[in-house]
Amino acid sequence: MKIHSIAAGVLVIGVMASCAKAPPPVNEPLPVEQPKTPVLQPKTNEPIQPVEDAKVTDPAMVELGKQLFFDPRLSKSGFISCNSCHNLSMGGSDNLKSSIGHKWNKGPINSPTVLNSSMNLAQFWDGRAKDLKEQAGGPIANPGEMAFTHELAIEVLQSIPGYAEEFKKVFGVDKIDIDQITRAIAAFEETLVTPNSRFDKWLKGDDAAITQNEREGYELFKSSGCTACHNGPALGGNSYQKMGVVEPYKGSTNAVGRSAVTGKDADRFNFKVPTLRNIELTYPYFHDGEAATMAKAVEVMGQIQLGKTFTPDENAKIVAFLKSLTGDQPKFVLPLLPPSSDTTPPPAPFK
């Protein structure tokens, strides 16, 4: 066998060598047509990778999850939906320092974007929910957010014929439960990715997709050390890091970060590194929302994480780079929610 294949190899080389001199044989295959546009050379050695399109495996479940995401009847008031605080018209956030919950309750922390949240190693600033499904049960029952109970949410949905039918179609059973609700919401959230930012086009080889200024901002972002924490496709979401490595951060809330979950003192003031995708849309910044502008956030990061003071020009370049990270926002038809029935428990907005 071995001898045979070596012999065959020699034969091929022999034929190829002879081709160079002899005229081509009549049955030679036609030359392959060259593509007219030059082939893009993706930049594969960068600490940041492009965001890929979402792969939808169960469109009916995603559609149901979309309805639930927009449905305020999952709250006690009948007024607050996931979209109230993660507004998909505003980068999946509420653009407030801290969210407003049931009965105008002031939330304890800034609302992170739901865009690209499927890339996070865990959910919440302190990572206390292991994934999107586990996370989705939280706000419904949180007294300061939607202030409902899982039992009541199920009762409401079950009383709405349109939902009863849809859950049956998607999950194949008559009884709605919280597991189905959170699975559907998570399936919808998994579709909320933002590919095709100009920076991603540049990563994929289109050199003209970002300006010289933005390019210089990216080089500064890398050479200053920002990519130590903000890396991967989401530029974050993949580790917990101390807020205040070089200098302590004086937050305006009493959030302690990761140590609230692990109980370890070493994790005090460690937070999940937020994604910088669509950062232009998700102001204000930091877990306490204290940085109103990107320039301020970059300035603080330089100082307290890296011990660096950027010149106004350097700061502006980094900000310009960060703006090139805004990708295609999820586009879809606003879901129509099935009407309540005579037996649907009424909302209690002021109780």
Burial class (CB in 10 A: 0-12, 13-18, 19+), 138: middle
Task: Tell me if 163 sits within 8 A of 176, measured CB to CB.
Answer: yes
17/48 Cα distance (integer angstroms): 45
CA-CA distance, 153 to 178, in Å (whole number)?
8
Among residues 70, 124, 148, 202, the one that binds ligand HEC under rule CB under 6 A: 124
Annotated catalytic residue within 33, 46, 145, 166: 145
Residue 281 binds to ligand HEC (criterion: CB under 6 A): no
Residue 320 binding ligand HEC, by CB under 6 A: no
Count of positions on this chain that bind ligand HEC (CB under 6 A)? 51
d(CA 138, CA 125): 14
* Shortest Å, Cβ 161 to ligand HEC: 22
Distance of alpha carbon 137 from alpha carbon 153, whole angstroms:
10
Position 217 contacts ligand HEC (CB under 6 A): no
Q: Does 176 bind ligand HEC (CB under 6 A)?
A: no
Cα–Cα nearest to 275, from 132, 52, 125: 125
Among residues 101 and 327, whose Cβ is nearest to ligand HEC?
101
Q: Which stretch binds ligand HEC (CB under 6 A): 34-42, 43-51, 111-119, 208-216?
A: 111-119
Contact 234, 116 (CB under 8 A): yes
DSSP state letter for 145: T
Residue 107 interacting with ligand HEC (CB under 6 A): yes
- Choose between 42 and 96: whose C-beta lies nearer to ligand HEC: 96
∠ CA 203-120-43, rounded to 5°? 10
Binders of ligand HEC among 283-312, rule CB under 6 A? 285-287, 297-298, 301-302, 305-306
CA separation for the pair 165, 16 (Å, rounded): 67
Residue 66 interacting with ligand HEC (CB under 6 A): no
**Rule CB under 6 A: is residue 238 a binding residue for ligand HEC?**
no
Residue 145 annotated as catalytic:
yes
For residue 284, cis peptide bond before it (omega within 30 degrees of 0): yes
154 sits near ligand HEC (criterion: CB under 6 A)? no
Q: Given the complex with ligand HEC, which of 124 and 163 has the nearer CB atom? A: 124
82 is in an annotated binding site: yes
CB of 86 within 8 A of CB of 92?
yes
Q: How far is CA 306 from the centre of its chain?
A: 25
CA distance 93 to 80: 14
Residues 17-46 that bind ligand HEC (CB under 6 A): none
- 53: helix, coil or strand? coil
Contact 324, 197 (CB under 8 A): yes
Piece of 19-27, 139-147, 149-157, 336-344 that binds ligand HEC (CB under 6 A): 139-147
Which of 198, 287 has the CB closer to ligand HEC?
A: 287
With CB under 6 A as the contact rule, the residue among 62, 82, 147, 281 that binds ligand HEC is 82
The token pair at 166 is 């849809």
Rounded-to-integer distance, Cα 183 and Cα 189, Å = 10
Please say which residue, 202 or 285, places its beta carbon nearer to ligand HEC: 285
Query: Is 318 an interacting residue with respect to ligand HEC (CB under 6 A)?
Result: yes
**Does residue 19 have a known ligand-binding role?**
no
**Coil, strand or helix: which one is 105?**
strand
- Kindly state whether residue 282 participates in binding ligand HEC, applying the rule CB under 6 A: yes
Of residues 217, 191, 215, the one with CA closest to residue 203: 215
Binding-site annotation: residue ranges? 82, 85-86, 102, 226, 229-230, 301
Catalytic residue list: 145
Q: What is the binding site for ligand HEC (CB under 6 A)?
A: 80, 82, 84-86, 99, 101, 107, 109, 111-112, 114, 117, 120, 123-125, 132, 135-136, 139-140, 145-146, 185, 221, 224-226, 228-230, 241, 243, 245, 271, 273-274, 276, 279, 282, 285-287, 297-298, 301-302, 305-306, 318
Binding-site annotation: residue ranges for heme c? 82, 85-86, 102, 226, 229-230, 301
